[in-house]
Amino acid sequence: MAVVEELLRTEENGAISFGNYKLDAKAKVEDYEHGGDLYKVKTYRKLTKLEKNGMFAYESEPGTSVLQFVETENGVSFLVESDADAQITVGLEEDTEYSVSVGESKIGAMKTNLSGKLSISVELENTGEVAVKMEKIKNG
């Protein structure tokens, strides 16, 4: 498994990777510049949280490592890994419907709440990396 030793890094393709679920103590990186935005990550085995320009972007309980995190105007996609199943919340557009897939499974349509958050459970124990994709269907 590939934890992100730097806690937050830019990949060659322009995506970001962040989080280290193997840390026993909390660690963070602040004011990380990527694509004209400032990111902040806090991570350890119980929690991983990402903020973009001071706004919520991603959170998992317990902690996860997130690879190839890409945001577009139509949604978000990433690979996630941990040694335990995780509850993941992603910040998207408020009151908007998204098509959600986890691994090979299409979860179906899910709608964000008024704060733009969408939460899913991902089975990660003994699975390695799992691909997650949330793609906009329509606005509410």
Buried/exposed 20-52: b ≥16 CB within 10 Å, e otherwise: bbebeeeeebeebeeeeeebbbbbbbebbbbbb
Domain boundaries, the chain: 8-139
Question: Which amino acid appears at position 80 of this protein?
Answer: V
Nearest to 109 by CA among 59, 75, 68, 85: 75
Question: Which amino acid appears at position 67 of this protein?
Answer: L
Fold designation for 8-139: Immunoglobulin-like (2.60.40)
Give me the chain's average pLDDT, please.
Answer: 94
What confidence tier does 82 reach under pLDDT thresholds 50, 70, 90?
very high
What confidence tier does 1 reach under pLDDT thresholds 50, 70, 90?
low
> Whole-angstrom Cα distance, residue 130 to residue 66?
10
